């Protein structure tokens, strides 16, 4: 008996107690029970000490990811398993997903999601109770799915124990300890894993709360800084308006304040200003049928994200005057977004001022234009009052018939520079342009007509006074003729309409018209000594038959066809269309009446 007491006092293992000499079996059994109790107490003390260490380690963690890594590492060490892992609850999808692992080697296992009720972990997540098994693949208590079983099999797991993470009744996730061979889990090990899970859940919630608080403080600080930034921007914009600055200055200030590029467009997409290094892609035009960014901005004046751009409409009195397009930045803070919206308000104000000034100038122009179209020549002094240069000696007259509200806005910069006067007159928009002739003006206005749908007739050039009145009347007759011929949404000079244009003209310059229709053929014959003009006369006289024309010309039909092919190169495809063919025949007849006829 004394020997047993001595061995217990020396903390001898149970194997030595079982072999103690001079003692009866009852004494040895009692000593072994005492030894087992001492071992259990020591183990419990070790586990409690480990939990204290874990608590201390978790207390020093500052991010949720670090907390989770600490939890799974400690669980694997304390329980003595091959693998430990933790899943978190996803309330949006109603399942749990793998968040941290220790000892795992399978990529499929590390990306696993567990629906509630599926597998051991899904059952823990659904019931909020711990479950364990010594042989998961063969345990039919759990709902096996092919995806879960495949991932577990790839990881090689056999024995699994899972316990829920719960804080104040709220389910957070599941903590697992698992082995790659069969092994039972004692209730003490399940209890220890549960203690770890509880400690981890509390710490995780606290860390999240701390992070959210820090983020809120940072956001508050940023809001304060943003308010100061917004106030500075407001002062900058106010200074621009009060000093008479234009939209160019607003765009430049906005680009500098936010380190972005800025494009300002009017209500129909014409660019009014730009600043910064503009990305050409979003402003290059409609690509692939997609609308431009400014076309999608709401008229509410609120900033919206459209593709790679930020867009805000500039509106005044409920009318959309234009839009600011911002780029060169991935994100804009709330304060910066308010700065852009404020810039849009200021831009709308400046555009409204500009339009009012333009309307006043238009009224003044319309008065001068009305006098010019009634034959007045006393215009020079009034013209200079508009802030323009001297009156050109002569101008061409363009009459625009139809909905002409967008015509002036569609003029490109070179045409704007050539625009002498413009305004509404007798229901039409009349423009006086400092261009050399009507044909050139019509060519440059054709795209404007096509884009706006108006029909534009051009006559001139003419000097101020009676010549200008006659040119305006000719343009008026010409635009009426174009509409009767259904030549809408295009621009034309008298020569462009061939015979119809001559009929509507008060005065016809036959030589100019003939040169307009046949000039390239006349020049070709003159330079090469050919007679394409004679071939054309014979061809039309023969009813457009190359064979009969060849008989008249005493050449082979192939020769006639080759000459006609050359005419096609000179005059372009479609010269044999009925209207053009008629104009060419009239020009050939008129050519014969000229003194130096070929």
Strands 83-90 and 170-179: antiparallel
Residue whose C-alpha is closest to residue 256's, from 328, 344, 148: 328
Establish if 363 belongs to a structural domain.
no
Establish if 503 belongs to a structural domain.
no
Establish if 502 belongs to a structural domain.
no
Residues 524 and 436 in one domain: no
Whole-model pTM?
0.40
Q: Is 318 exposed, middle or buried (0-12, 13-18, 19+ CB in 10 A)?
A: exposed
Residues 71 and 187 in one domain: yes
Query: Number of C-alpha atoms within 13 angstroms, CB side, residue 579?
Result: 10
Residues 181 and 254 in one domain: no
Establish if 239 belongs to a structural domain.
no
CA–CA distance, 546 with 390 (Å, rounded to integer)? 57
Residues 199 and 93 in one domain: yes
| SS3 call for 184 | coil
- Out of 355, 385, 409, a domain closes at 355
Residues 149 and 43 in one domain: no
Establish if 488 belongs to a structural domain.
yes
Residues 433 and 473 in one domain: yes
Q: What are 219's two structure tokens?
A: 């956001």
Residues 73 and 51 in one domain: no
Confidence at residue 53, expressed as pLDDT on a 0 to 100 scale: 56
Residue whose C-alpha is closest to residue 458's, from 501, 405, 412, 424: 501
Residues 67 and 202 in one domain: yes
Residues 65 and 49 in one domain: no
Residues 267 and 193 in one domain: no
Residues 75 and 203 in one domain: yes
Q: What are 257's two structure tokens?
A: 């304040």
Q: What are 345's two structure tokens?
A: 């308000």
Establish if 434 belongs to a structural domain.
yes
- Out of 56, 79, 98, a domain closes at 56
Confidence at residue 48, expressed as pLDDT on a 0 to 100 scale: 45
- Block means of pLDDT (10 residues each) for the chain, 598 residues, are 56 59 60 56 50 53 67 85 92 89 92 92 92 93 92 94 85 92 88 80 66 52 52 72 77 86 84 80 45 54 81 82 85 82 82 74 78 82 70 91 87 87 89 90 91 91 90 88 85 76 57 76 86 86 86 87 88 82 78 66
Residues 328 and 200 in one domain: no
Establish if 20 belongs to a structural domain.
yes
Confidence at residue 254, expressed as pLDDT on a 0 to 100 scale: 85
The total number of structural domains that make up the chain? 5
| CATH at residue 351 | 3.30.450.40
- List Cβ neighbours of 103 (8 Å cut-off, separation of 6 or more): 76, 81, 82, 83, 84
Establish if 367 belongs to a structural domain.
no
Confidence at residue 290, expressed as pLDDT on a 0 to 100 scale: 46
- Out of 56, 78, 99, a domain closes at 56
- Identify the domain containing residue 390 by its residue range: 373-496
């Amino acid at each position: 008996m004394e020997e047993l007491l001595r061995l217990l006092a020396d903390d001898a293992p149970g194997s030595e107690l079982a072999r103690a000499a001079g003692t009866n079996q009852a004494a040895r059994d009692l000593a072994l029970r005492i030894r087992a109790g001492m071992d259990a107490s020591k183990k419990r003390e070790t586990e409690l000490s480990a939990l204290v260490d874990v608590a201390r380690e978790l207390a020093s963690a500052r991010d949720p990811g670090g907390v989770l890594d600490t939890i799974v590492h400690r669980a694997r060490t304390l329980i003595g398993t091959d693998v430990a892992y933790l899943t978190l609850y996803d309330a949006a999808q109603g399942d749990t997903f793998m968040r941290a692992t220790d000892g795992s080697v399978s990529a499929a296992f590390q990306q696993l999601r567990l629906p509630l009720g599926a597998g051991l972990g899904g059952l823990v997540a659904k019931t909020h109770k711990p479950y364990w098994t010594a042989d998961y693949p063969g345990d039919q208590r759990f709902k096996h799915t092919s995806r879960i079983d495949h991932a577990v099999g790839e990881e090689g797991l056999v024995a699994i124990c899972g316990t829920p993470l719960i804080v104040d009744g709220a389910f957070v996730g599941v903590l697992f300890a698992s082995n790659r061979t069969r092994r039972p889990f004692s209730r003490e090990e399940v209890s220890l894993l549960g203690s770890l899970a509880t400690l981890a859940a509390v710490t995780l919630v606290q860390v999240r709360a701390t992070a959210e608080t820090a983020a809120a403080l940072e956001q508050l600080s940023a809001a304060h800084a943003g308010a100061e930034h917004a106030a500075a921007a407001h002062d900058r914009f106010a200074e621009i308006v009060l000093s008479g600055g234009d939209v160019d200055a607003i765009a430049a200030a906005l680009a500098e304040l936010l380190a972005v590029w800025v494009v300002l467009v009017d209500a129909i997409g014409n660019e009014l200003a730009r600043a910064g290094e503009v990305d050409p892609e979003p402003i290059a035009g409609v690509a692939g049928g997609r609308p431009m960014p400014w076309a999608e901005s709401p008229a509410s004046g609120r900033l919206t994200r459209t593709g790679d751009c930020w867009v805000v409409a500039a509106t005044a009195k409920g009318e959309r005057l234009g839009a600011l397009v911002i780029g060169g930045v991935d994100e804009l803070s709330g304060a910066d977004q308010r700065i852009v919206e404020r810039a849009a308000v200021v831009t709308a104000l400046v555009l409204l001022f500009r339009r009012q000034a333009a309307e006043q100038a238009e009224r003044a122009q319309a008065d001068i234009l009305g006098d010019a179209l009634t034959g007045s020549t006393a215009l020079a002094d009034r013209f200079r009052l508009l802030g323009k240069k001297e009156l050109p000696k002569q101008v061409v007259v363009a009459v625009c018939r139809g909905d002409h509200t967008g015509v002036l806005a569609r003029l490109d910069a070179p045409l704007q520079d050539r625009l002498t006067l413009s305004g509404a007159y007798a229901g039409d928009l009349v423009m006086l342009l400092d261009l050399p002739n009507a044909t050139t003006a019509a060519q440059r206005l054709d795209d404007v007509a096509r884009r706006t749908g108006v029909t534009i007739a051009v006559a001139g050039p003419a000097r101020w006074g009676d010549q200008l009145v006659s040119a305006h009347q000719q343009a008026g007759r010409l635009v009426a003729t174009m509409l009767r011929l259904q030549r809408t949404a295009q621009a034309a000079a008298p020569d462009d309409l061939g015979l119809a244009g001559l009929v509507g003209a008060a005065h016809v310059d036959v030589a100019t018209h003939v040169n307009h229709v046949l000039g390239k053929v006349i020049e070709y014959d003159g330079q090469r000594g050919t007679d394409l003009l004679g071939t054309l006369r014979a061809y039309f006289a023969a009813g457009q038959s190359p064979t009969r024309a060849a008989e008249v010309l005493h050449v082979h039909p192939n020769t006639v066809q080759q000459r006609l092919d050359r005419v096609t190169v000179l005059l372009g495809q479609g010269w044999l269309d009925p209207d053009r063919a008629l104009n060419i025949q009239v020009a050939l007849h008129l050519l014969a009446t000229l003194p130096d006829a070929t």
